[in-house]
Amino acid sequence: MRLKAAHFLWEGVQETEDDGRERSRRLAETAAALSGRDNTERVLLMLRAFDATARGENAEEIIQIAERALLDGGLAPGTGWTGMAWGFEPPALLGLSLAFADQLDRAETLFDEGMRAFEISGWSGGHLAFAHTLVGYAHRRRGHLADAEMYLRESLRLADRVGDRLPMHWNGICMLVDTLLARGRVEEARAAAERYGFGPPYASSIAIPDARSVRGRLLLALGRTEEGITELEGAGRALTARGRHNGVMGAWAIDLARALADVNPGRAAELAAYSRDRAERFGTHTAIGVALCCSASLTEGPAAVKLLGEAVTHLEASPCRYELAVARVEYGIAARSAPDLGRGRVLAEWCGADGLAERARLALEDLRTVGDGAGHRQE
């Protein structure tokens, strides 16, 4: 069982594998009857929780699997961050599974524990760099974008002391580019990506969120649309070949749908429908809300307003404040509602999403201009 768990771990964190669907099936079959009676079983359950997350299986069931991997709600002795038997990967994957299942409080607790454990043990190199990456990404999911950027830049600084183009660099730069794009700082994201060679050939191990999906979004933001579409198509092929359909972990379909909206509306609609279906299967408020925003972006008039209203409702129940800010701003624009735009702008500023806050400000000015013009005509 220990050898099987080690093999599942090694295969699961590789960027590519020959038959990911079969590995997932074997892992699910192996973990199905496990109760977490010893550390081997607990590690297998951690790996199963992450694999189910990547596949986009039901989040409530993933949480139940994760809970079986814990002892009295915490990491069992021997499965912790500095444990020599299993390493730091299983608790990291468990924390990421909880984060994507909208259990951010629990994920943050795990990631903070990891950082403290490395600091206490004097591990100031790659391990501490990775811990900063995880804490930074928890802030990114929470919507604390400035704090996320601070932790992620520190993770890269620590990684630089160890070497170049290491796996810890890939996770750090991937999350940093994602965060900078959320902040609306496209040029800073481009500069960071160039500084760390964020592009093909990709690392042999996976990055969270999916590296190709993030790079595709960066290319679109830079106006390199054809390159971005190609990158996102490649991301989709690679992920779906492994049976990985989590639209929050890899948002390739959502970004690709928006990129194709004008040039290939039929394909865009298929991608939006796929994203929404997979989000509903996963079942978190975050996933569903983001997918509804994507569907709304391909629609106009009352239908778009309705979809965005549903997205806001879901995201208000999510811990991810940036995604809620996006939905509120888009709803305010579609509904031509100054109060909703105002709320979206305030939340965007709180998140540190400068680009989104500016979009809301300009939309508010446009509403006021139209309103003033209507008033003059009435007089």
Please tell me the distance from the alpha carbon of residue 145 to that of residue 319, in angstroms, as a whole number. 14
Q: Which of 4, 3, 58, 68 is nearest to 32 (CA)?
A: 68
C-alpha separations of 314 from 37, 113, 324 in Å: 37, 30, 9
Helix then strand then coil, % of the chain, to nearest 5: 75, 0, 25
Residue type, 265: P
Please tell me the distance from the alpha carbon of residue 175 to that of residue 232, in angstroms, as a whole number. 17
CA angle 362, 137, 342 (to 5 degrees): 20
- Tens of pLDDT, residue by residue over 235-280, are 999 999 999 999 999 999 999 999 999 999 999 999 999 999 999 9
- Tens of pLDDT, residue by residue over 82-137, are 988 898 999 999 999 999 999 999 999 999 999 999 999 999 888 999 999 999 99
Question: Three-state SS across 10-59?
Answer: HHHCECCCCCHHHHHHHHHHHHCCCCCCCHHHHHHHHHHHHHHHHHCCCH
- A 10 A CB-CB count for 12 gives 22
- Tens of pLDDT, residue by residue over 135-144, are 999 999 999 9
Locate tokens 């629609």: which residue?
A: 299
- Tens of pLDDT, residue by residue over 27-70, are 999 999 999 999 999 999 999 999 999 999 999 999 999 999 99
In this model, does residue 197 exceed pLDDT 80?
Answer: yes
Please tell me the distance from the alpha carbon of residue 181 to that of residue 253, in angstroms, as a whole number. 17
Dihedral, CA of residue 173, residue 215, residue 10 and residue 159, to nearest 10: -10
Q: Are 311 and 292 in contact (CB under 8 A)?
A: yes
378 vs 221, residue with greater confidence: 221
Say what the pLDDT of residue 372 is. 59
